[in-house]
């Protein structure tokens, strides 16, 4: 008996985010079109699996190609977290500088640029809560935006969530693991 093994294995992963059932499909779809004149496509996946199709670039994060209900530029984003399950939010192109001081030596600090995400509107629940850290945030087109790192909590109708941009994480991963090849979509 003879076995022939291929010299190169080919594996094409299919990456998905599951929007779950917390937000009914019709309500979810309606929230993805906050204005009737939206020029983007969204169809709620029948199998409840949103296919991931690439990475949101730094330029697109800073100059979003969607709009919220008030006509303000944003990226409509979703995440499925451990604490809050599926939530929809808005990333409006604003980045925050986050500085952390080390308790043993206040002269040492770590500064990072974080992608800011606010809840969908003033009537919506928070975008994230403690326990959601590490969740992947994607836009409604399935492009990966970032990894949730922290939040500020709800204040007068809005809350703030912070994420490390995925394009930035991927650059750092490739610095340490040059042979890694991440293909999404």
Judge whether 31 and 88 are in contact, CB under 8 Å: yes
pLDDT tier, 8 (very low <50, low <70, confident <90, very high otherwise): very low
Whether the predicted pLDDT of 2 surpasses 50: no
Residue whose C-alpha is closest to residue 119's, from 74, 174, 83, 54: 74
Q: Kindly list the distances between the CA atom of residue 151 and the CA atoms of 126, 154, 159, in Å, as whole numbers in the listed order.
A: 9, 9, 8
Coil, strand or helix: which one is 16?
A: strand
Average pLDDT, the chain: 81
Whether the predicted pLDDT of 161 surpasses 50: yes
pLDDT tier, 146 (very low <50, low <70, confident <90, very high otherwise): very high
Mind giving me the DSSP string for 74-114?
Answer: EEEEEEEETTTEEEEEEE-S-EEEEEEEETTEEEEEEEEEE
DSSP at 41: -
Pick the residue with more confidence: 170 or 38? 170
pTM recorded for the entire structure: 0.80
Residue whose C-alpha is closest to residue 69's, from 50, 44, 89, 84: 89
**Cα–Cα dist 128/131, whole Å:** 8
Dihedral (Cα; 170, 175, 180, 181), 10-degree rounding = 50
Q: Kindly list the distances between the CA atom of residue 109 and the CA atoms of 27, 104, 133, in Å, as whole numbers in the listed order.
A: 44, 11, 22
Cα of 34 vs its chain's centroid, Å: 19
Q: State the burial class of residue 164 (Cβ atoms within 10 Å of its Cβ: 0-12, 13-18, 19+).
A: buried
Q: Kindly list the distances between the CA atom of residue 92 and the CA atoms of 2, 64, 164, in Å, as whole numbers in the listed order.
A: 59, 7, 15
Judge whether 91 and 77 are in contact, CB under 8 Å: yes
């Amino acid at each position: 008996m003879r076995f022939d093994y291929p010299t190169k294995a080919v594996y094409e992963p299919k990456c998905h985010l599951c929007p779950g059932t917390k937000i009914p499909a019709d309500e979810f779809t309606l929230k993805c079109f906050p204005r009737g004149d939206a020029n983007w496509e969204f169809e709620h996946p029948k199998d409840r699996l949103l296919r991931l199709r690439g990475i949101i670039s730094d330029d697109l994060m800073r100059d979003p190609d969607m709009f919220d209900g008030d006509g303000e530029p944003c990226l409509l984003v979703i995440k499925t977290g451990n604490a809050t399950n599926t939530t929809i939010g808005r990333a409006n192109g604003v980045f925050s500088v986050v500085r952390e001081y080390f308790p043993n030596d206040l002269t040492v600090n770590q500064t990072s640029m974080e992608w800011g995400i606010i809840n969908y509107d003033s009537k919506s629940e928070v975008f994230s809560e403690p326990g959601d850290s590490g969740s992947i945030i994607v836009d409604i087109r399935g492009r990966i935006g970032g990894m949730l790192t922290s939040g500020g909590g709800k204040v007068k109708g809005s809350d703030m969530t912070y994420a490390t941009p995925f394009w930035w994480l991927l650059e750092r991963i490739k610095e340490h693991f040059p042979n890694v090849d991440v293909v999404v979509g």
